[in-house]
Amino acid sequence: MKKPMTPTELRKDLYRVLDDVLETGVPQGVVRGARMLMIVPAGGRRLDLADLPRRKAVACSPEELVATSWEGEWRAEP
């Protein structure tokens, strides 16, 4: 995804932004207040995972995650 823009920035270059999204298939974020809007093409080119922003989903290393055991915590429901 490209760097998000403000509505004012979008207004200045609306047609170029729309054409770019249609050509590349890469979404364009627009920040309005504390919320994000996305301009995305309907159908067409599929988005690559590499185009998505990377998020930190786990607060530990992969090794710690693999070594995690729930055996002492799990109890069968009656």
Task: Determine how β-strand 35-39 pairs with β-strand 28-32.
Answer: antiparallel
Q: 34-37 long-range contacts, Cβ below 8 Å, gap at least 24? A: 36/4
Give kind and range of the element (H or E) at residue 15.
Answer: helix 14-24
Q: Look up the pTM and report it.
A: 0.53
Given pLDDT bands bounded at 50, 70 and 90, which one contains residue 16?
Answer: very high
pLDDT digits (tens, 9 = 90+) for 26-45: 899 999 999 999 999 887 55
Give kind and range of the element (H or E) at residue 28.
Answer: strand 28-32
pLDDT digits (tens, 9 = 90+) for 41-59: 887 556 677 777 777 788 8
C-alpha 62/C-alpha 57 separation (Å) is 11
Share of the chain above pLDDT 70, in %: 94
Phi, psi dihedrals of residue 66, rounded to the nearest 5°: -65, -35
